[in-house]
Amino acid sequence: MQDQGRSHRHRRGGYAEPTGGNPNVCMLADDEPATVVQIEGGRHLAARLHNLGILPGKRIRKLGTMPGSGPVMVDCDGVRVALGRGIASHVLVQPSRDARDAEESQQ
């Protein structure tokens, strides 16, 4: 059977790399607090994240990452949310180093 001009290609390159100087949620360390700076993506992605309570200016904390290519768990206003890595890679954040340093100095 001959190929009739059809091709099957998988997306290459993995997840989105941040375009600015800010890391994305995937790049945070476990239990690291951060502030959402920007959602890179279309209005549907922004609306979906807004419905989950994740929007620019909101403080979040990365709880961890599931094994393999599983979701990234974040805490937003006391609610645990699982974000697929593709979606999490479009959420740019500013790590809250001051908050983390304050927590470490209390211990």
The full 3-state SS of the chain, as one line of letters, equals CCCCCCCCCCCCCCCCCCCCCCCEHHHCCCCEEEEEEEECCCHHHHHHHHHCCCCCCCEEEEEEECCCCCCEEEEECCEEEEECHHHHCCEEEEECHHHHHHHHHHC
Which residue segment(s) compose the domain that 85 sits in? 25-106
13 in any annotated domain: no
Q: 98 φ, ψ to 5°?
A: -60, -45
93 and 28 in contact (C-beta within 8 Å)?
yes
pLDDT of residue 61: 97
For position 35, which CATH number holds? Answer: 2.30.30.90
Top pLDDT among 32 and 105 is at: 32
Cα–Cα dist 64/19, whole Å: 23
Q: Is residue 54, in this structure, part of any structural domain at all?
A: yes
Higher pLDDT: 76 or 104? It is 76
Contact 91, 74 (CB under 8 A): no
Residue type, 92: L
**pLDDT tens, residue by residue, 1-51:** 454 554 434 444 444 555 568 899 999 999 999 999 999 999 999 999 999
- Domains in the chain: how many in total? 1
